[in-house]
Amino acid sequence: MNWKNYEHYIYYTFKDKYPESDIVFNKKIKGIISGRSRQIDLFIEGAVAGENMTIIVDCKYFDKKIDIKIVESFLGFVKDVKGNKGILITNKGFTKSAYNRAYNDQNADIKLEIIDFKQLYQFQGPGAIIHRGYGGAIIQAPDGWVIDGKQFDINVLATVLPYGLSLERAYQIKEVLFCNIMPKENDLTIDKLIEEQEEGRLEFDDQSTVNIKPINLKRYDKLNGTYREIFYPQAGYYDYTIFVDFGKFIFYACLIEGIKIKGKHIDNLHYVVNSTLPMNVQGAIHK
């Protein structure tokens, strides 16, 4: 594979990933800071998991790993072309300092993802299937994240975490998302489920605060979800959860974030929820 084939493969991969978005290959835009013409490998604009975004994708076909200088240069490039998010893809991987620079950046305006080329096979796959009782769901991982299907807790059917992190490390640094399904037995509702979880919240941290509100789901016009945000000051992290009632079961996805990265991955939580396909254990999709 040469660099031209490499870029075209990535282009068609993203076309399949974001069918509702406008994707332009090799687009040129005048930089708002530099004032000169900037060439963009892939320019993605439109609805991504229900959110309007401008994503700048840069493809690096190198003979060595991407270093921190290239990551910092790309951040400036994304800002110059007014991108909401940047995705840097390479065939040889990233140095440790490059990875840390990408994922420890606190820039509130630009979100950066770095993806190893071998990781792109996930874009083509159907995601992961989770189930409990009669309820099941197909979940998808956001860009730069992977799904770990190990069930180590009754409240976790699948864990979604940044590519390159171990499951233990993701939980340790509080940068992780998990999914669960609760069958609607004994007339279970979202309100009842949240109420059941309240006792555990206060036992864990009696200084914790909670905010609960309804939320519109972009994918499902006739379904509404419930959004809950909990702050655990003693433990030093936030818990963002979206609950969805799919009729026979309740699906919920929970994002755990440390204080220093508060809100950095909220769009990943929305992506997981809005890309989830409900199903029963026989595989029939609910309509």
Q: What pLDDT does residue 287 have? A: 37
Q: What pLDDT does residue 123 have? A: 45
56-60, 62-66, 111-115, 237-241: which is most confident: 237-241
Position with higher pLDDT, 246 vs 107 = 246
Q: Which domains does the chain have, with CATH numbers?
A: 3-122 (3.40.1350.10), 126-280 (3.40.1000.10)
Q: What pLDDT does residue 222 have? A: 65
Q: What pLDDT does residue 85 have? A: 83
Q: Which two tokens stand for residue 99?
A: 């990875």
Question: Can you give the three-state secondary structure of the chain, one letter per residue?
Answer: CCHHHHHHHHHHHHHHHCCCEEEEEEEEEECCCCCCEEEEEEEEEEEECCEEEEEEEEEECCCCCECHHHHHHHHHHHHHCCCCEEEEEECCCECHHHHHHHHCCCCCCCEEEEEEHHHHHHHHCCCEEEEECCEEEEECCCCCEEEECCCCECCECEEEEECCCCHHHHHHCCEEEEEEEEECHHHCCHHHHHHHHHHHHHHHCCCCEEEEEEEECCCCCCCEEEEEEEEECCCCEEEEEEEEECCCEEEEEEEEEEHHHCCCCHHHHHHHHHCCEEEECCCCECC
> Mean pLDDT for the chain?
82
pLDDT of 230 > 90? The answer is yes
pLDDT tier, 245 (very low <50, low <70, confident <90, very high otherwise): very high
Lowest-pLDDT choice from 19-23, 179-183, 194-198: 19-23
Position with higher pLDDT, 233 vs 279 = 233
pLDDT of 283 > 50? The answer is no
Q: How far is CA 189 from the centre of its chain?
A: 26
Q: Which two tokens stand for residue 28?
A: 């040129």
Q: What pLDDT does residue 163 have? A: 72
- What is the mean predicted confidence (pLDDT) over 134-162? 81
Single-letter residue type at 54: T
Q: What pLDDT does residue 256 have? A: 95
**Rounded Cα distance, 125 and 132, in Å:** 22
Residues in a beta bridge with 66 = 94
Percent of the chain with pLDDT over 90: 28
Q: What pLDDT does residue 159 have? A: 92
pLDDT digits (tens, 9 = 90+) for 102-132: 767 655 455 666 666 665 554 444 568 888 8
**Rounded Cα distance, 275 and 83, in Å:** 23
Q: What pLDDT does residue 151 have? A: 59
Q: What pLDDT does residue 101 have? A: 80
pLDDT digits (tens, 9 = 90+) for 10-58: 777 777 667 777 888 889 999 999 999 999 998 988 766 556 778 898 8
